[in-house]
């Protein structure tokens, strides 16, 4: 048997063991299953939040982006992504604990005293989560197939991976994700730090000689261009990522499992240390540019494996594959768990409010295998359109940020009508721009590049905020006038 397959198999077995072992000593009520009864300390929160943020994109996509894009890849070092949650997550956690809220939809429904608004947020969340799960599974296919030298068929690999996720999420809930995230973080640290150090020294004699060779062979490759992926694009994409990261339902939901506000603040303060790992991932991609040339399009995401296979033994390729498969499975487990909780608690119960908590907990677990099968269907038959849907989904969840930010103010100026209309307009704009392949450049061909290069998500959230404020002003006046009219009539 190929040594790489043996290591991958052992890693899968260990992940199942950890996922199931995490249940021991826990009474799996819905709150325990979904948010661990808000008992995770700083260390577990660190690995859990890192587990969902550093997924197959970081493992394959970031090195592929460095290979393909060059300098503009620095957008993944967005410090703002960690500054915003430092301030917004503690008050969210505090409010959620006070009112026993388990999901993002619960939060919106309670803050705006509107179950229809909570239902709207739930629908946006589930629609956004499915393509994200599919992307993880597609990454899982690539990783296992490459790491096994093609001996494990992608179809079998993704079935096995999804069964593992389904089993430990069904049995252990968020505890299974947290325990498996510990193993994932250890493997990812070892693999990425080693590859990011070894490969530049092996091929060029160091990091500086690598950059010098790359700059000489491809002048300007390491810089932001004057148009296209320019400074204005960089600023707008950083805003999109920073404002949208914790609007993903699984990131929002995982933050509610924290033991305290202090644990959340510590986590957001320490999590940027993971950015150091991203530097080494970029080194891998930059090293591959001249050593593994002519990888076009989606093939550029294979840069990490292509260059590693040239110089490393099969057993270490198995270790790389093991880290990669966990980078897919851990976020996937959190996504499935979150979607199942939203479907039962925020959509099913909205239709049937008389549903008991016991039945709701049972339904949530039933939704886990159903969501897994739906995700597998789109993985096999969704084609590349799922990548387009993921881009659209990121901008979808971004539209939730304005009403959430305003809801944290002492006196929220936004009405539930304003929040709803603003989100619907923002989501509709994103869907239109994505489906029709519109960009700011195509919409405003004569505008300066400062405008043309803006990310469309930022444009949508700006219009969303304007509409939300306008509708809120109008509806708040109507609400004020109604009591006055009633007093006059009486």
User: In the chain, where are the structural domains located?
Assistant: 2-383, 399-490
314 to 90, 147, 309, 401: CA distances (angstroms): 46, 8, 8, 45
Per-residue pLDDT of 267-323, as tens digits, reads 888 878 777 888 898 999 999 999 988 888 777 888 888 999 999 999 999 999 888
Query: Is there a contact between 13 and 235 (Cβ–Cβ < 8 Å)?
Result: no
Q: Collect all residues with Cβ–Cβ distance below 8 Å to 402 and sequence separation of at least 6.
A: 414, 422, 461, 464, 465, 468
Q: Which candidate, 137, 152, 169, 146, places its Cα nearest to that of 18? A: 169
pLDDT, residue 358, reads 79
Q: What is the CA radius of gyration of the chain?
A: 23
CATH of domain 2-383: 1.20.1730.10
Give the pLDDT band of residue 50 (cuts 50, 70, 90): low
pLDDT at 39 over 70: no
Q: Can you tell me whether residue 40 is helix, strand or coil? A: strand
pLDDT above 90 coverage of the chain, percent = 20
> What CA–CA distance (Å, rounded) separates 22 from 17?
8
pLDDT above 70 coverage of the chain, percent = 88
Model pTM?
Answer: 0.82
pLDDT, residue 390, reads 63
Per-residue pLDDT of 455-472, as tens digits, reads 888 889 999 999 999 999
Per-residue pLDDT of 148-202, as tens digits, reads 888 888 888 888 888 888 887 777 776 677 778 778 888 888 898 999 999 999 9
pLDDT, residue 389, reads 61
Region class of 173: left (phi > 0), else alpha (psi between -120 and 50), else beta: left
Q: Which candidate, 167, 162, 166, places its Cα nearest to that of 20? A: 167
């Amino acid at each position: 048997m190929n040594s790489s397959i043996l290591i991958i198999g052992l890693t899968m077995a260990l992940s199942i063991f950890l996922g199931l072992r995490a249940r021991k000593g826990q009474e799996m009520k819905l709150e325990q299953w979904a948010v661990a009864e808000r008992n995770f300390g700083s260390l577990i929160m660190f690995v859990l939040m890192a587990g969902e943020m550093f997924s197959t994109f970081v493992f394959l996509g970031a090195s592929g982006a460095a290979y393909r894009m060059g300098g503009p890849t620095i957008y993944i070092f967005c410090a703002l992504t960690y500054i915003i949650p430092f301030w917004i997550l503690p008050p969210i956690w505090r409010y959620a604990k006070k009112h026993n809220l388990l999901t993002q939809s619960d939060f919106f429904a309670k803050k705006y005293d509107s179950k229809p608004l909570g239902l709207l947020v739930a629908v946006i969340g589930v629609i956004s989560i499915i393509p994200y799960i599919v992307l993880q599974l597609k990454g899982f296919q690539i990783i296992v197939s490459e790491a096994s030298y093609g001996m494990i068929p992608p179809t079998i690999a993704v079935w096995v991976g999804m069964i593992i996720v389904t089993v430990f999420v069904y049995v252990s809930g968020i505890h299974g994700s947290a325990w498996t995230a510990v193993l994932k973080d250890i493997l990812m640290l070892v693999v990425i730090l080693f590859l990011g150090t070894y490969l530049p020294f092996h091929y060029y004699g160091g990091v500086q000689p690598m950059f010098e060779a790359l700059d000489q062979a491809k002048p300007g490759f390491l810089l932001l261009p004057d148009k296209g992926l320019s400074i204005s694009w960089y600023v707008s994409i950083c805003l999109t990522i920073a404002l949208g990261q914790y609007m993903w339902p699984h990131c929002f939901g995982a933050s509610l499992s924290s033991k305290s506000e202090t644990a959340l603040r510590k986590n957001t303060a320490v999590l940027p240390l993971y950015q150091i790992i991203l530097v080494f991932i970029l080194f891998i991609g930059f090293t591959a540019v001249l050593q593994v040339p002519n990888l076009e399009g989606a093939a550029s995401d294979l840069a990490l494996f292509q260059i590693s296979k040239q110089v490393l033994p099969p057993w270490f390729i198995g270790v790389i594959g093991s880290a990669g498969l966990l980078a897919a499975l851990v976020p996937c487990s959190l996504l499935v768990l979150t979607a199942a909780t939203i479907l039962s608690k925020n959509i099913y119960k909205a239709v049937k409010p008389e549903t008991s908590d016991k039945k709701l907990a049972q339904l949530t677990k039933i939704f886990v295998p159903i969501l897994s099968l739906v995700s597998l269907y789109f993985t096999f038959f969704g084609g590349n359109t799922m990548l387009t849907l993921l881009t659209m989904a990121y901008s979808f969840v971004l539209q939730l940020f304005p009403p959430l930010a305003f809801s944290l103010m002492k006196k929220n100026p936004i009405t539930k009508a304003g929040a709803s209309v603003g989100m619907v307009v923002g989501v509709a704009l994103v869907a239109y721009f994505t489906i029709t392949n519109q960009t700011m450049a195509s919409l405003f061909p004569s505008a300066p590049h400062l405008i043309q290069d803006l990310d469309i998500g930022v444009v949508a959230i700006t219009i969303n905020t304007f509409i939300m404020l306008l509708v809120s002003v109008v509806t708040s006046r109507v609400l004020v006038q109604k009591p006055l009219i009633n007093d006059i009539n009486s």
